[in-house]
Amino acid sequence: MIPGRRNQSVSRVDEYDPATNTWRERSPMPTARNHAAVGVVGGKIYVIGGRVGSVFMSSAVDVPAVEEYDPATDQWGAPKSRMPTARSATAYAVYKNRIYVAGGEFSLPQLSGAFKSLEAYDPATDNWTVLPYMPTPRHGFAGGVIGNRLYLISGDVQSAGTGIEVSTPEADAFEFDSEK
């Protein structure tokens, strides 16, 4: 995408079958968005947060929406509990049937920045847990689970909406032993 050119999020969902090397269109997402977190738990796909209106943070709005998709029935379920902190460009991972969402960014007319937030969504109870903050706020970074740790790697410490990019080599590990 090029700033200043028309752009928008789409709700289209496509499924790829690697066995046949084919694509097919599926039921569209209820909320068209980009920069969302995605996790698979119990065979269902959860799309969390993200931004609407534009791919560019300076002209987008973050949403706290959580939507569940069942690929077996090609159906989107009723909206789920909203995330505690609406944001986009997060890192995310799944561990023991919970979806962990970290960091992210926001932009308001008077302020923009990155989050330190770390929150976990439990689809079985449709509840969120707010966890200890990351030491450094950031967005556009990677998350992954190895063993009993969630690793959060790199990212930018300032919102992309400012035109100032400050990357960090920061790497944090969240220990799951203290979690249920």
Residue boundaries of the structural domains of the chain: 32-178
Residue 79: predicted pLDDT: 93
Q: Which residues of 61-77 are buried (b: 16+ CB within 10 A; e: fewer)?
A: ebbebbbbbeeeeeebe
Residue stretches of the chain with pLDDT short of 70: 1-7, 54-59, 159-166, 178-180
Residue 154: predicted pLDDT: 87
Residue type, 88: S
- pTM confidence score: 0.88
* pLDDT tens track for 2-50: 555 556 788 999 999 999 999 999 999 999 999 999 999 999 999 999 9
- Beta-sheet strand order (sheet of 37-41): 37-41, 44-48, 66-70, 75-76
Topology given in CATH for the domain delimited by 32-178: Neuraminidase (2.120.10)
Smallest Cα–Cα separation from 66: which of 42, 35, 40, 31? 31
